[in-house]
Structure 1
Amino acid sequence: MTTLSTLEFLQRHIENNLPVNAITEMCYPTAISKLLDFRIIAIAKGQATLSICTDPNIHGNQQGTVHGGLLSELADAAIGTAHSTAIKKGESFTSIDLHIKFFRPVWKSTLTATVCPVKLGQTISHYQCEITRENSDLVALASGTIMTLRGDSALGR
C-alpha cells in the first residue's frame, strides 16, 4: 500500500501516474463525482479545476436547461477538492455555506469549475469558484466557506 497526501494522489491521478495500490486519507474519486462524471483536470494546494460534460436530457430542469443544483454540486465538489489539498494529515473539513449566482443558462456543454482560495485560514477558509462553458462565458459564480476539523471532530468525517 502506498499512502500519498491528497494533493500528490490527485496530481498523480491527473497525470495518469497513480500507483495501483495508492491510497490517501480522503475518498477519491468521490461517489458523487463518479455518479455525475465530474473530472478533476487541475490541482494545486488550495486550488482545483473540475469539469463535466452536461446534457439537458440527463441534467435538465423543467425548462430544458441544465439544473442549477448540478451547478451548485459542481461548485461544492470543486471547493471541497481544493480544500482537501490544503489540510494536514488527520484533519477533515465541513462546508459552512455555499452561495451561487447564475448568469446564463446551459444546455449541452463542457463546464469547467475553477476554484481559488480567497483566504486560507487556520480553521475557517473562504473560496471562490467560477463556472464557465467551453467558450469561456461565465455561467455561475460561487463562494464557499469551509471549516477545518481537528482531533475528535475530524474522526469519521
Structure 2
Amino acid sequence: MTQTQQDGRTRTFGWTDPAVHAELIGRRSGLDLLQAMARGELPAPPIMQLIDLAGLEAEEGSVTLRLDPQEFHYNPLGTVHGGVISTLLDTAAACSVHTTLPVGVGYTSLDLTVKFLRPITIASGRLTCTGSVLQRGRRTALAEARLVDGRGKLAAHATSSCLIFDL
C-alpha cells in the first residue's frame, strides 16, 4: 500500500517480508519469479514499494520498469535524486540477468557504472527503464539499462556486471 499526498507532503507505504522472495529463489526460475511479480501474483520487493514503482515487465534477457517521478524522489536541487535513478538502472540491469537464471541459481551486482544525461523532474513524465543482458557466461554476466523520459529522450544509462552463483 502506498499513499502519497503531494500538497500535504506526507507519505505512507507498506511492504511485505523480504524473506518471501528469498525463499522462492530456490523454487522458481528468475523469469518465473519476476513475471509473477509483474502479474501481481507475488508482491514487489520492499525497494519497489519505497520508490513507488508504477510497473514491471519481464521476458527472457530483459526487464522494463516504469516510474512516475514524484516530489518525494527529489534532491535539494529540485530534481529526481541520482540514487533513485541509479536504483532503477541497477534493478533493470540486474533483473534482466535474473530472467536468465534457472531454479537454485542466484546473482549479485559486482559493479554499476551510471551516466546521468539530463535532469529529471515531475514534468519529465513517466520514466521507462529497460535492462538487457549483453553477455552471460557461467559465472558472470554483463547487462545494460537505459532510462528514457516521457518524451522518449534518453535521461540516463548504465552498465552492470553480475556474479552468478549456485544457492
TM-score (norm: length of structure 2): 0.76
Query: In the aligned structure 1, how far is the partner of 2:118 from the partner of 2:142?
Result: 24
Indicate the percent of aligned positions where both proteins have the same amino acid: 28
Paired residue type of 2:35: Q
SS of the counterpart of 1:54? coil
SS of the counterpart of 1:61? coil
Q: CA RMSD in A?
A: 2.0
Match of 1:25 in 2: none
Match of 2:21 in 1: none
What 5-or-longer segments of structure 1 have no aligned partner? 23-27
Query: Offset of 1:119 from its aligned partner?
Result: 0.5
Match of 2:148 in 1: 132
Query: In the aligned structure 1, how far is the partner of 2:157 from the partner of 2:100?
Result: 22
2:62 is aligned, of 12, 22, 47, to: 47
Q: Once superposed, which parts of structure 1, at least 4 consecutive aligned residues long, lie more than 6 Å away?
A: none
The answer (yes or no) to whether the contact 2:63–2:96 under 8 Å persists in 1 is: yes
What 5-or-longer segments of structure 2 have no aligned partner? 1-26
Matches within 5 A, 1:96-115: 96-108=110-122, 109-115=125-131
Query: In the aligned structure 2, how far is the partner of 1:10 from the partner of 1:94?
Result: 16
Match of 2:38 in 1: 14
How many pairs does the alignment contain? 140
Paired residue type of 1:90: G
Query: In the aligned structure 2, how far is the partner of 1:39 from the partner of 1:82?
Result: 18
Paired residue type of 2:45: T
TM-score (norm: length of structure 1): 0.80
Query: Offset of 1:38 from its aligned partner?
Result: 1.9
